[in-house]
Amino acid sequence: MTFKVFRRHMALLVATFLCATPALAEPVTVTDDEDRELRLEQTAQRIVSLAPHITEVVFAVGAGDRLVGATQYSDYPPEAEDIPRVGGYSRIDLERVLELEPDLVIAWRSGNSGSQIERLRDLGIPVYVSEPRRFEGVASSMRRIAHLAGTEATGDAAAQAFLDRIEALRNEYAQRDPVRVFYQVWEQPLMTINDQHLIAEAIEVCGGSNVFGHLDRLVPRMDREAVIEADPEVIIGGGMGEDRPDWVRAWERWEDLTAVQRDNLFFIAPSLLQRHTPRIAEGTALMCEELERARLRRPGQ
């Protein structure tokens, strides 16, 4: 074998070896919604979600096949129902989480137990904490989760499509005549949202005004008398279930309320407004339609 042939043979062997050997994994780093930097030595392959909306976002950014655990009520998309459960979002089964050997846990700051999140960190499990408060935050969270999973192209496209739809709704409705809105999160106790809540931005996009937006707490408890005194033009309810507007119709007994007199008692499925996912754009579109209906029901219209 000549030296030239030998060199060519060795070059072919090296090229074959490099093609057959996977590229070395590169670390990925993001900052979560608690302003904590999270570093993974490689993209996440085994993800546990600690809230239904997080499960939905992981699927939306193309990483649903990486989910090995999720909490109860993780029901969208339908494939999510087959994922092993790790308890409810307010009480996680830590032993079950450990059994699943995740290389990433995605938690919900205002829904999960802070002590349980810290326990997971103490056990050496990387935890990303999600808490978007604005639509831009939803998109940012989608992009960061996609980065952790190595599905950036899908995540970026989904995030941009979400923002584009919100912007279209804002351009169409935000400058229309304001509509005073009471949004009911829960019935017993009666609960609403302030202007720091994501749903409040949906109201704003639709040209609405949150009658309790000025309150300090993100999800304030109310008494019914305060709602009656505020006399909203529209009452929108969720929380009860996907197809049960019972709580909203219960307001009909207060016949002096403007919302009752004009039949502006609306129900929007909570999964479309009360989950911090791209589907909140769909819920916002429904809200905009309802507020426009309320404008048309004003005297003289």
Domain boundaries, the chain: 28-159, 175-296
Q: How confident is the model at residue 301 (pLDDT cuts 50, 70, 90)?
A: confident
Average pLDDT over every residue of 84-109: 94
Bond preceding residue 77 cis, omega within 30 of 0: yes
Judge whether residue 151 has pLDDT over 80.
yes
Write the DSSP string, 82-142. GSPB-EETTEE-HHHHHHT--SEEEEETTTS-HHHHHHHHHTT--EEEE---SHHHHHHHH
Domain 28-159 has CATH 2.60.40.650: no
Average pLDDT over every residue of 67-87: 95
Of 203 and 222, more confident:
203
Q: Both tokens of residue 295?
A: 């404008």
How confident is the prediction for the chain on average, in pLDDT?
89
Give per-residue pLDDT as tens, 205-254. 999 999 999 998 989 998 999 999 999 999 998 765 555 567 777 899 99
Judge whether residue 175 has pLDDT over 90.
yes
Judge whether residue 187 has pLDDT over 80.
yes
CATH number of 175-296: 3.40.50.1980
Q: What percent of the chain has pLDDT over 70?
A: 89
Of 55 and 1, more confident:
55
Give per-residue pLDDT as tens, 46-65. 999 999 999 999 999 999 99
Give per-residue pLDDT as tens, 2-50. 434 334 444 434 443 344 434 456 899 999 999 999 999 999 999 999 9
pLDDT, position 8: 41
Q: Is 91 left (phi over 0), alpha (psi -120 to 50) or beta?
A: beta
- In this chain, the answer to whether the domains covering 28-159 and 175-296 adopt an identical fold is yes
CA distance 230 to 226: 6
Give per-residue pLDDT as tens, 260-295. 999 999 999 988 998 899 999 999 999 999 999 999
Three-state SS for 279? coil
